[in-house]
Amino acid sequence: MSHLGPEPESGKRVLRREFLTVRSRYTADDVRETGAALATRALELPELAHARTVAAYVSVGSEPGTRALLDALHARGVRVLLPALLTDNDLDWGAYAGEGSLVSVQHRGKMALLEPAGERLGPDAVLAADAVLLPGLAVDARGMRLGRGGGSYDRVLARLDRAGADPALVVLLYDSEVVDRVPEEPHDRPVHAVVTPSGVHRFRRPSP
């Protein structure tokens, strides 16, 4: 059944609160252990095993940890791009140069984010990625992702679409965040795979 009016977005707001409440209970040890398990699982993905450039992000707070994966990809010689938030909520990108190459940036009205310290490569740098790791709060059985609501990654996905780029879209989640269904809007785009500590969930790519 199709949604009318603001229902999908209001439903998303309710779900976001629920998932963030659960995440708030995780300890630093939980996040670290999850990050190690996610790195092990994700590194087995063919999409990452064969990637030369991966656009990723630095997890903060109780998000499923990404640091172990970033370091493992960097050690493999993969070019890892990390986002830097712009004032309009779009994302610029910089290359990850390993431990010590991140700076804490406080954005107005948001928590401090860890961003790459080096040269900014521009929003279009993501077009070179063979795989894009997307943050999220949940993914459903169709591969639809529930983001945090800031719209930054909607812009990234729209940029990829406009350019005809087709990188693998991968989300890292806790096991409980793979659900039956999340609300969707017309601009939402399914991802190709979800990695959790216990395994990998794949979704069929739509036919061209």
For residue 151, give the DSSP letter: -
Does the annotation place 148 within a ligand binding site? yes
Of 40, 53, 93, 59, nearest to 199 by C-alpha is 40
Q: Which CA distances in Å does 38 have to 91, 173, 201?
A: 24, 8, 13
Residues 27-36, mean pLDDT to the nearest whole number: 94
Is 151 part of any known ligand binding site? Answer: yes
Q: Provide the β-strand partners of residue 170.
A: 133, 193
To the question of whether residue 41 is assigned a binding role by annotation, the answer is: no
- Tell whether 12 is in a known binding site: yes
CB distance 158 to 30 below 8 Å: no
State yes or no: 69 annotated in a binding site: no
CA angle, residues 12, 135, 81, in degrees to nearest 5: 150
Span 91-130, pLDDT tens digits: 999 999 988 899 999 887 777 889 999 899 999 999 999 9
Enter the tokens of residue 62: 């109780």
For the chain, give every domain's residue range: 7-202
Residue 204 annotated as binding site = no
Structural contact between residues 150 and 106, judged by C-beta atoms closer than 8 angstroms: no
What CATH topology corresponds to 7-202?
Rossmann fold (3.40.50)
Residue pair 54/72 in contact (Cβ under 8 Å)? The answer is no
With cut-offs at 50, 70 and 90, classify the pLDDT of residue 150. confident
Type of residue at 121: L
Q: What is the pLDDT of residues 73-86, one digit of tens each?
A: 999 999 999 999 99
Q: Is 147 labelled as part of a ligand binding site?
A: yes
Q: Does pLDDT of 165 surpass 90?
A: yes
Question: Is the CB of residue 182 less than 8 Å from the CB of residue 144?
Answer: yes
Please give the DSSP secondary-structure letter assigned to residue 11. H
Q: What's the DSSP call for residue 197? A: T
Distance of alpha carbon 24 from alpha carbon 11, whole angstroms? 20
Q: Band the pLDDT of 24: cuts 50, 70, 90.
A: very high
15 annotated ligand binder = yes
Q: What is the pLDDT of residue 205?
A: 57
* Three-class secondary structure of residue 117 per DSSP: coil
152 annotated among ligand-binding-site residues: yes
How high is the mean pLDDT of the chain?
A: 90
- Amino acid making up residue 179: V
Is 32 known to sit in a ligand binding site?
Answer: no
What radius of gyration do the chain's Cα atoms show?
16
- For residue 69, the surrounding DSSP H or E stretch is helix 67-75
152-183 b/e (C-beta count within 10 Å ≥ 16 → b): bbbbbbebbeeeebebbbbbbbbeebbbeebb
Is 145 marked within a binding site? yes
Residue 65 annotated as binding site: no
Q: Does the pLDDT at position 4 exceed 70?
A: no
153 labelled binding-site residue: yes
Q: Is the pLDDT of residue 206 over 90?
A: no
Judge whether 146 is annotated as a binding position: yes
